[in-house]
Structure 1
Amino acid sequence: MKMETRAGLSRQILIAMSAITILAGVLVFFGSYLVYSAIVAVYPLPETDEWLTSLDLVIFAALILGTLPIAALVALRLARRILDPLESLARSARQIAAGDLSARAAASDKALGETASLVGDFNTMAQRLQDMAADMALWNATIAHELRTPLTILKGRLQGIIDGVFEPDERTLRRLILQVDGLARLVEDLRTVTLADSGHLDLRIVPTRLDRELEELAELMAPDLASDGFHLTLELDDIVVDADATRVRQAVLALISNARRHAIRGAITISLKAVDGTAVLAISDEGPGIDRNLAGRAFEPFVRGDPDRAKETGGNGLGLSVVRAIMEAHGGSLRYRTAPGGGALFEMGFGASAVPRAR
């Protein structure tokens, strides 16, 4: 890393102080010698057997007093170049600790390279901290918004039943259960994404025959999909992959539910192939796919192509984020591209753990 390749700040200060000490010594020694020689040449001193006379000592003392302020001035200017950025950094750190995340340290143009770099690194850290705080505030506001709608509906319906406005018949109760299911799904999706982002999403990785898992999942989903005008097409190779079968089913279910909400009625294709030792699990539909302006942000939380339609179909904008989180926890890959027929195609790669089995 950049910080590891630079000399330490303490080493730089030590070198600078050593240079000042040597400079002061050189100034005192040579300055004293030259001035003393000039004085002796102009005003010869009386001959004496003493090595240093009182006059010699007075001359040397005067010369030392004259050269030391020069060395002190140089040391002061150098120390200021080091300490000014550090004082600015300490001041900004106290402001950030007090809650002002917009505080930034400043380094003058004359600051030493290491102190200027230290200030730059601090400002980068402070900017990231401010961005994280802003993202967290937005995240909390979005979650509150997503929870408010079903809770409002539940409260209104239950209050209506208490007041006798609504009859507690089967249809009303089923609608309330649907709202509860939506809340449960939202909470579980939030939990999955949060655990994955913090690196605490637990997986039970075992050798798994993905084709069998997908066949069972397709059999369970087929009736509901058929009622909405969809049918599943399976193109599965017999492959064993080191994976958490439950989490993989969760990811596939999220992608199929996403196609069910946004794709035109028709086929949803699930394929499983071994490509260069990598198991590639793909889900595709017949269109219209994801808008180009949203494709780059499709896997971010709460990103929706059509918010109004998502509300009608019960989407919470977390489905693709859940898929991303699960694949990252597996150490795999996830990408979106347009299918040959113009629909959406999501490909999940499970690394080099794919083992094709002989039929």
Structure 2
Amino acid sequence: MSGGARAKAIRPHSLWRWVAVRMSLLALGVVSLIALCMWLRFATETYLTEQKIPPATLERIRTISASPAQHEQELWGYLRQYYQPQDVVPGILGADWLLFYALMAASIPLIVVLGFVTSRPLSRQFSIVAATARRVTQGDFSSRAELVPNAPAELNRLAEDFNAMCEKLSRYEREVLDSSAILAHELRTPLNAAMGRLQGILDGVFEPQPDQLAMILRQLVQLNRLVSDLHFLSVARAGELRLSEDKFDLTELIRDRINWSVPALDAAGIVSRVEVPSSAPWYGDRDRLGQVVSILIENVVRYAGSGRALTVRLSASSGTARLIIQDRGPGVPAEELPRIFDRFWRAEHSRGRHSGGSGLGLSIAGVIVEAHGGMIQAANRVDGGLEVNISLPRRSAAPR
């Protein structure tokens, strides 16, 4: 939902309207109650007085009351005879005014009590969010703010957004803790291998032959790639990722990346099927989007080679481009799907490590797609395998 649409959606339930409506209803209720009591008092007094007046006289009084100016003397005579002086003499200490003062005094505690009752959901929601925020500041990211029924929609939305923020903080905390241990292992493995090989050469165990040096270089290249990937993710998460704006053909890009991967696909016995339009002009960072395609193909080769199948589909409309990559591998456990684009995530950690994966590829693919304003999702296929769905918004021209 866009910002304007969201604003229109929440305007009828805004906080000021919630407070104004309740305070207005409270004031209207108190005024109406006082008016009702005054009316009841007048109606009762009039009824009791009229019971004492003979019917013929009462009818005469009603008749001349229609034109009091013409029967002023007669009307005053009846008033002196049947009504109390305090009922007709003006003054702020009359019976009517005393009743009004009493009603006003009685309405004050009523207003206070009803004010507390009607504002309770408002204050309770604020208190719950504040108490939860204090627990979060103490490091308890599992805390969640309870939603109070009948509270303003804006406050409930605030609590929901706060809970979403806590969920992200909790996920980031788990990711940092998991990443720290995994990162230490990932860095230590190539370092130990390279150091052990170098130490063997220095001790004379191995000859300083090109093949030995090549093994050390491979470990260092793996280490450099891991560090580069981590730096890329850090820059992307900080919102500092710079993308170039190239005009290119998505169809040509996908075919190029498939051709680059043919040796790995053939070695794994994977048959690829590519369904793309003849042409799909696009604007974006060609190299980064190509990196996404290569990561997903490499992911299929490493973890879904047993399925022996890879399908790549591209469809482009006036609004978006949709890229789908499917395999026939074992898929991903349903409970792991929400974490598939987290750093260092692997469905099978040991298999991923032996196959050379660091667990950063899908995270990199995710941040590149998001940096282009798109979305990337993964789901298990009904008939087996994994499907990664990427949607990218179309731009008619590169931004200046």
Distance 1:122 1:91 in 2: 12
Match of 2:18 in 1: 9
Rate the CA distance shift 1:280–1:230 in 2: closer, same or farther, 3 A. Answer: farther
Question: What CA distance in whole angstroms lies between the structure 1 residues aligned with 2:355 and 2:230?
Answer: 14
Report how far residue 130 of structure 1 moved: 2.4
Contact 2:322 2:389 in 1 (8 A): yes
Equivalent AA in structure 1 for residue 35 of structure 2? V
Structure 1 partner of 2:353: 311
Distance 1:282 1:267, change over 3 A: farther
Instruction: Count residues with an aligned counterpart.
Output: 340
Q: Are the structure 2 counterparts of residues 94 and 309 from structure 1 closer, same or farther at C-alpha, using a change threshold of 3 Å? A: same
Point out where structure 2 has 5 or more consecutive residues left out of the alignment.
Answer: 1-5, 53-80
Question: What is the Cα deviation at residue 79 of structure 1?
Answer: 0.3
2:280 to 214, 217, 240: 240
AA of the residue aligned to 2:222: L
**Match of residue 253 from structure 1:** 294
Partner residue of 2:222? 178
CA distance in 1, matches of 2:19, 2:289: 51
Counterpart AA for 2:89: W
Which structure 1 residue ranges, 5 or more long, are not aligned? 355-359
Instruction: Identify which of 17, 22, 31 aligns with 2:31.
Output: 22
For residues 5 and 220 of structure 1, do their structure 2 counterparts lie closer, same or farther at Cα, with a shift above 3 Å needed? same
Alignment of 1:1-359 (within 5 A): 3-6=10-13, 8-23=17-32, 25-27=34-36, 29-30=38-39, 33=42, 51-52=89-90, 57=93, 59-60=95-96, 62-100=98-136, 102=143, 104=145, 113=150, 115=151, 117=153, 120-153=156-189, 156=192, 170=213, 171-189=215-233, 191-192=235-236, 194=237, 202-218=242-258, 220-222=260-262, 228-229=267-268, 235=274, 238-244=278-284, 245-264=286-305, 271=312, 281-284=323-326, 287-291=328-332, 293=334, 296-297=337-338, 299-302=340-343, 303-328=345-370, 329-331=372-374, 338=381, 344=386, 346=388, 348=390
The 1:51/1:330 distance shift into structure 2, 3 A limit, reads closer
- Check conservation: 2:326, 2:387, Cα contact below 8 A: yes
User: What SS is found at the alignment partner of 2:359?
Assistant: coil
Identity, % of aligned pairs? 14
CA deviation map 1:208-244 (0-9, x unaligned): 1234434544554455666x54577574654132143
Mapped partners of 1:131, 1:174: distance in 2 = 39
Q: If the length of structure 2 is used for normalisation, what is the TM-score? A: 0.65
Maintained 8 Å contact 1:85/1:106: no
Aligned AA for 1:323?
A
SS at match of 1:208: strand
Q: Distance in 2 between matches of 1:21 and 1:229?
A: 81
Amino acid at match of 1:76: V
Where relative contact order (Cα < 8 A, 6+ residues apart) is larger, the structure is: 1
- Contact residue 194 and residue 219 of structure 2 kept, 8 A: no
Distance in 2 between residues matched to 1:121 and 1:349, nearest whole Å: 28
**AA of the residue aligned to 1:30:** W
Aligned-residue CA RMSD (Å): 4.6
Q: Distance in 1 between matches of 2:391 and 2:127?
A: 48
2: CA distance, partners of 1:180 / 1:20? 74
Cα distance between partner residues in 1 of 2:355 and 2:10: 50
